[in-house]
Amino acid sequence: MLKLPIYLDNNATTPMDPRVLEAMIPYFTEHFGNAASRNHPFGWEAEEAVDYAREQVAKLVGADPKEIIFTSGATEGDNLAIKGVFEMYASKGNHIITANTEHKAVLDTCKHIEKLGGEVTYLQVKDNGLVDLAELEAAIKPTTILISIMYANNEIGVVQPVKEISNIAKKNGVLFFTDATQAVGKIPVDVQKDGIDIMAFTGHKMYGPKGVGALYVRRKNPRVKVTAQMDGGGHERGMRSGTLNVPGIVGFGKACELCRLDMEEDTKRIKALRDKLETALLQIEESYLNGDKEHRLPHVSNISFKYVEGEGLMMGFNKNIAVSSGSACTSASLEPSYVLKALGLGDDLAHSSLRFGLGRFTTEEQIDYTIKHVTDTVNKLRDMSPLWEMYKEGIDMNSIEWAHH
Amino acid sequence: MAYSEKVIDHYTNPKNVGTLDKSSKNVGTGLVGAPECGDVMRLQIEVDEATGVIKDAKFKTFGCGSAIASSSLATEWLKGKSVDDALKIDNMEIVEELNLPPVKIHCSVLAEDAIKAAINDYRQKQGLEALVFEERIH
Ligand SMILES: Cc1ncc(COP(=O)(O)O)c(C=O)c1O
């Protein structure tokens, strides 16, 4: 029996794997010690658990455990990386390069850097959502200290050419930070092979708990340091003070281990389901895939259904299917998604988009149900859409003088 | 954000979806909003020229559930009203009837604008001057 509602918003957050919960439970009540308590078994147990988790996390991304700094999540990781580099490397320069499709945790941090007197270049991505490498290289100046480009985008799932970016960074003596929140645990990420200097990721996008994440900070070739953004007890090699969230870290470690072990099988299965969903939905007339088709996460699909509005569309099934939309109506700002607009999509197509995010627990039955109900709702709303009627009558919508409000 | 039951009801079973003959002299058409803004409403009225009573009303809307519900409700209210009474429909009545939250008030404003645009279109076809309405900021 199909159980409703169906969760297809795994880029927002993932359910926690029951195996992760199981690993965490003893660390709430039984092994509750403070990992910084050096003088009794309670502390030792906690420290041991944290060390083990640090290894699990490091192994997933090809890092040394000493290079893993535990944080409260990717927002904190993004802040610590960018602000921390800006402060630590102030004597070398003040220029940062990023892209206009980054997560707000990066973009707003960069805005903050500008207020502090830093200079930030926001690269326009190409229509497929990928960074133009020639433009990136051309943007580097003598004062550039950091390139901050995300690994995979949270709205459209495109995967940036990370290796090429890191080569450019290395060649120019600039550090490379990547927000890999959407990529780690889903596709192979290796800080050595990918040439990453600093990398943020988070537990709750990979079947781990919320409120815990990590910042990878390279220790060799080059040795990288970031200035702490919170003052206190000097935990995490002085880069992130605060009593460690032991149960969270244990769960995060377990989640990393499961992703490492299950990735190949999970990906094969999830990608087949994603492709089935996508192929079926792109059969609908006037529906368009957003973002590069090839360089993309295997579990995401972002599709615009022209002439219907995203929030109105979701309302047709959101009691039973959870997805998200780039429509303005779903955002507090009443602006459609800046990521979709950065692809050169008109506002109308941005308003008409849905993001489907599949995950470890998605089933074929759920996908079949989704295909049917999304298709039916698109058809129903098009019958109600004046724009669809105009399109069918061959009226050029650009010839109409719309009353903008 | 959860929708009110009335919005859900209009969305699920919209009243008076459709198209009237816009070339007809006794049909007034109002097309308001813009695709880039995420909502476009087309509202049409068919008027009994002898009595000035709205015999039929139809809509088509591109927009969120609240926009669809606002236009559906507007067509319900329009039917059987005189054109003069139709002009008195205020967007806040729509807000109250549908329990729209503050972020959705613009949907009701759009519905009111669509009513007025349809009436003006009808008036012009009848050789009457268009009414001038206060500019509204939405
Ligand atoms: C690309 C990206 N960066 C950062 C974040 C923020 O992560 P967190 O919720 O762990 O702070 C998210 C999640 O919303 C994300 O998708």
Alpha-carbon Rg for chain B, nearest whole angstrom, is 14
| Contact call for residues A207 and A255 (beta carbons, < 8 A) | yes
Cα dihedral A348, A350, A352, A358 in deg (nearest 10): 170
**What confidence tens digit (pLDDT) does each residue in B68-104 have?**
999 999 999 999 999 999 999 999 999 999 999 998 9
Which strand ranges, in their side-by-side order, compose the sheet holding A95-99? A68-71, A213-217, A198-202, A175-179, A144-148, A95-99, A119-123
Could you tell me the pTM of the whole model? 0.94
Which chain A residues touch B111 with a CB distance below 8 Å? Answer: none
Cβ-Cβ contacts under 8 Å for A385 (sequence gap 6 or more):
A307, A308, B60, B61, B62
Mind spelling out the 3-state secondary structure of A181-230?
A: CCCECCECCCCCCCCCCEEEEEHHHCCCCCCCEEEEECCCCCCCCCCCCC
Sign of CA dihedral A265, A267, A272, A276: positive
Q: Say if residue A334's pLDDT is above 70.
A: no
Q: Say if residue A69's pLDDT is above 60.
A: yes
Instruction: State ipTM.
Output: 0.94
Residues 105..134 of B with a Cβ closer than 8 Å to A: which? Answer: 106, 110, 113
pLDDT value of position A290:
97
Contact call for B40 and A386, based on CB within 8 A: yes
Q: Kindly state the helix (H) or strand (E) to which residue B8 belongs, with its residue range.
A: helix B5-12
Alpha-carbon distance of A254 to A252, in angstroms, equals 5
Q: Say if residue A255's pLDDT is above 70.
A: yes
Cα dihedral A73, A77, A78, A79 in deg (nearest 10): 110
Question: What φ, ψ does residue A306 adopt, rounded to 5°?
Answer: -60, 145
Cβ-Cβ contacts under 8 Å for A401 (sequence gap 6 or more):
none
Q: How far is the CA of B96 from the centre of ligand 1 (A)?
A: 38
Q: Say if residue A399's pLDDT is above 90.
A: no
Q: How many CB atoms lie within 10 A of CB A330?
A: 18
Selected for mutation to probe chain A from B21, B22, B64, B68 (highest A CB count within 10 Å) is B64
Question: Among A240, A224, A202, A246, which Cα is nearest to A33's?
Answer: A246
